[in-house]
Chain A
Amino acid sequence: MLTKTESPEMQTSNAFVHNSAIALHNPTLQIALDRGTTNAVNNRVRAMLETTDANALRAQGRASRLRALHNLPALLEQAEAKLQARGVTILWAVDGAECNQHVIDIAQRHGVHKIAKSKSMATEETHLDHALEAAGLEVVETDLGEFVVQIAHDTPSHIVFPILHMTREQVRDLFVEKLHMPPSDDPEQLTAAAREYMRAQFTSADMGITGANFVIAETGTLAIVSNEGNARMCSSLPRVHVAVVGIEKVIETLDDFATLVQLLTRSATGQRLTSYVQMINGPANDNDSDGPDQMYVIFLDNGRSGIYSTTYAESLACIRCGACLNTCPVYQNVGGHAYGWVYPGPIGAIITPLLTGIHNAAPLPHASSLCGACKTACPVDIDIPDMLLKLRGDLVADGDSDPMVTAGIKAWALASQNPRMFELGGKAASLATRTLAGKDGQIHKLPSLLGNWTQNRDFPPFAKKSFHDLWRDRQSGKSS
């Protein structure tokens, strides 16, 4: 399995427990998370309820994704051929470094100095912005949320809503400081300030960089889903357009696209369709009055092919809607930054270890109570809990586990295969816990690892007589 190791300063996934505790004690973050995820969940539920048959559509969408994944190499080739026939240059990048180098080469080849960029999680994986700036290029993030992240020197905390972790007051303070905007809480004013600033960028950029939500093999089309209009700007105004797309984004036909794009918009933002869905078939035709003269598509692997033939292939079906994040009680409480990399929440807990190396994100598969809300919310019915369980198994099999937990599990397993030992162990625990119980009958403090339980809740003492005892009593009572 090709695993990509992220450089330690960048990824903080292994500090999840520590960072999630910090997040829990951040009142501003808690307010923002509460508002953001509640609205997002309500929007999705409402939008899915009004479809013809939500569960049937999820199954239809899932089947579209799985068919496409089954035929992935052939579909990539088909899309490539169709795009090339219209003058698109197709490049392939095994990893993030190669992707970034491609973009730099393209920029140099075309004398590019200024780049307008719209939202692309794939380019977050590769740290594209940093690489471009290091190469002396000016990059402006044009998506409002990503722009805020950029000027705040922050990172996005959600797949769809990059600044879910920020309150409106925080954005206001930032705009006042960096854009010299007069102080105003009014979101309309904030947006107007961003619009004015960004206009100048769009019309003076030499290159536009976008991602793509889907690549349709049947027609050789990139589909970009957006609301703000900046993705259209980036792919229409500058003379060079570069799209960076994960290889798993390819789907077979326009019919598949119709289902999936609407599942995406309804699940991500609760919209029937976003304000803009742009279908890009190539650079401008010779006679077109506007549009890019040059177009490049970079197919990014970055660890995806390593997931492809494994038991985790289903994770590649993800359409990046963010529904699992919004509905996850863990994400709702700790937000995205605690996960320590590009993709947070339930899907992030799976693909982060798979793409960056399981030992670079060991806590993430455990950052879940396995409640299953994510699977219920997923528009393509990905079995997230199942993959989290498998990853936990992989971690243990690879020796990545807490020795105290391992010792406890070994003891439990031994006792559980031997009824007498099991009952004796129970008797010992009963004696110990009844001794520890306070006047109110509850245990307020347990020793060692179990102290993690009592740090914020009580624990009941074991019963004096187990069910085994009571049953034996009942049986002997009967026979006497």
Chain B
Amino acid sequence: MNNQAHSSRDRILGALRAKKAPFESASARPSAYMPVTAVEHTDTDALLIRFTAELERLTGKVHVASSASDALETVMTLIGDDRTVLAWDVLPLPGLRETMQAHGISTIDPHARGDVRGEPLALMATARIGITGADAALAATGTLVIASNAAQSRTASLLPPVHITLLRRDRLYARLEDWIARDSREVMNNARSVAFITGPSRTSDIEMQPIIGVHGPKVLHVVVF
């Protein structure tokens, strides 16, 4: 009991509570937060146009499919001659896993847990392409919201130099603020990691010149269906 009373936790919280807390007159939480970006038209078509424009200015590539089978064809074209890809166990585009299998494309199932990770990670790192779905997309910033879970690995959107995202068009939101207001809490309750992905990886560390493709993917394709 004595040790606890003098624990670092107690010392720090005690120091914070020792005197009157600052900013008593800080204004109360607003009933409505002002959003950072303006989005005029929020119908799906308009959001798709906005999302595409935003992502493409960041060198992302958006492929709008006219149907599920059209989407399948697009993905197969993007895979090209690769025989191995890194992919989620469960993908939102029906028939994709079967089609890949039929074409002799094997998927590395990304599993790197426990103490022995070197081998599986090295294997995953050999794939040129990673294929995932997305929980949501944010039009105003060209952002994908990708949560991790048992069937949705983190590495598929991280290790390979090319990342293909399969996005259902009904997952488009206007902005980050809108997704947070509507669906965030459920996703955040269930997923241990949620990544907001806005374009390929980049850096401006060398003389402030933007360079695409550092540690994360260099090319980002979003197939919308």
Which residues on A are within 8 Å of B, measured CB to CB? 2, 32, 35-36, 39-40, 50-53, 56-57, 60, 63, 66-67, 69-73, 76-77, 86, 91-94, 98, 142-145, 148, 161-164, 167-168, 171, 187-188, 190-192, 194-195, 198-199, 202-204, 219, 221, 227-230, 232-233, 235-239, 247, 252-255, 257-259, 261-263, 266, 269, 271-285, 287-291, 293, 299, 301, 305-306, 308-309, 313-314
- B113 CB to closest chain A CB (Å) equals 6
Contact yes or no, A272 B121, CB < 8 A? no
| Known contacts A202-B215, A228-B216, A272 near B22 by CB under 8 Å | no
Contact yes or no, A187 B209, CB < 8 A? yes
- B61 CB to closest chain A CB (Å) equals 15
With a CB–CB cut-off of 8 A, which chain B residues contact A293? 113-114
B200 at the interface (CB under 8 A from A): yes
Contact yes or no, A282 B112, CB < 8 A? no
- B178 CB to closest chain A CB (Å) equals 9
| Known contacts A204-B118, A291-B154, A168 near B206 by CB under 8 Å | yes
Contact yes or no, A274 B198, CB < 8 A? yes
List the one stretch of B30-38, B68-76, B98-106, B164-172 in contact with chain A: B30-38
- B164 CB to closest chain A CB (Å) equals 16
- A296 CB to closest chain B CB (Å) equals 14
Of B177, B201, B205, B213, most buried by chain A (CB within 10 Å of CB) is B205
B41 at the interface (CB under 8 A from A): no
With a CB–CB cut-off of 8 A, which chain B residues contact A228? 201-203, 214-216
Docked pose: A86 CA to B189 CA in angstroms:
10
With a CB–CB cut-off of 8 A, which chain B residues contact A35? 207-208
- B53 CB to closest chain A CB (Å) equals 12
Contact yes or no, B196 A301, CB < 8 A? no
With a CB–CB cut-off of 8 A, which chain B residues contact A262? 36-37, 176
Specify the chain A residue showing the minimal Cβ separation from B11.
A94
B133 at the interface (CB under 8 A from A): no
- B100 CB to closest chain A CB (Å) equals 18
Mark B13-26 against chain A: 1 for CB-CB distance below 8 A, else 0.
Answer: 10111111111101
B49 at the interface (CB under 8 A from A): no
Number of residues from B at the complex interface, CB < 8 A: 87
- Our pick among A77, A198, A236 for the contact of B154 (Cβ within 8 Å) is A236
- Our pick among A167, A203, A229, A258 for the contact of B214 (Cβ within 8 Å) is A229
B107 at the interface (CB under 8 A from A): no
B184 at the interface (CB under 8 A from A): yes
| Known contacts A92-B7, A195-B213, A76 near B13 by CB under 8 Å | yes
- Our pick among B23, B191, B192 for the contact of A70 (Cβ within 8 Å) is B23
Docked pose: A480 CA to B16 CA in angstroms:
71
With a CB–CB cut-off of 8 A, which chain B residues contact A306? 15
With a CB–CB cut-off of 8 A, which chain A residues contact B122? 203
Closest 10 CB pairs of A and B: A229-B216, A287-B150, A66-B26, A309-B19, A305-B15, A145-B205, A313-B22, A229-B215, A39-B208, A203-B121
- A270 CB to closest chain B CB (Å) equals 9
Of B110, B184, B217, most buried by chain A (CB within 10 Å of CB) is B184
- A331 CB to closest chain B CB (Å) equals 15
- Our pick among A255, A301, A305 for the contact of B180 (Cβ within 8 Å) is A255
For the complex with contacts A72-B21, A254-B185, 14 further pairs of A-B residues with Cβ separation under 8 Å are: A51-B37, A53-B34, A143-B205, A168-B207, A202-B121, A228-B202, A272-B140, A275-B197, A275-B199, A280-B192, A284-B148, A285-B192, A309-B18, A309-B21
Docked pose: A171 CA to B209 CA in angstroms:
13
- B156 CB to closest chain A CB (Å) equals 9
Contact yes or no, B110 A289, CB < 8 A? yes
B81 at the interface (CB under 8 A from A): no
Within 8 A of A (CB), among B144-163: 148-155, 158
Specify the chain A residue showing the minimal Cβ separation from B209.
A187
B193 at the interface (CB under 8 A from A): yes
Contact yes or no, B112 A272, CB < 8 A? no
Docked pose: A275 CA to B38 CA in angstroms:
20
Docked pose: A272 CA to B60 CA in angstroms:
15
B83 at the interface (CB under 8 A from A): no
| Known contacts A272-B140, A291-B148, A279 near B209 by CB under 8 Å | no
Docked pose: A252 CA to B158 CA in angstroms:
29
With a CB–CB cut-off of 8 A, which chain A residues contact B15? 2, 301, 305-306, 308
With a CB–CB cut-off of 8 A, which chain A residues contact B203? 144-145, 191, 227-228
Contact yes or no, B206 A144, CB < 8 A? yes
- B90 CB to closest chain A CB (Å) equals 11
B52 at the interface (CB under 8 A from A): no
- B63 CB to closest chain A CB (Å) equals 20
Contact yes or no, A56 B34, CB < 8 A? yes
B56 at the interface (CB under 8 A from A): no
Contact yes or no, A254 B125, CB < 8 A? no
Docked pose: A413 CA to B122 CA in angstroms:
73
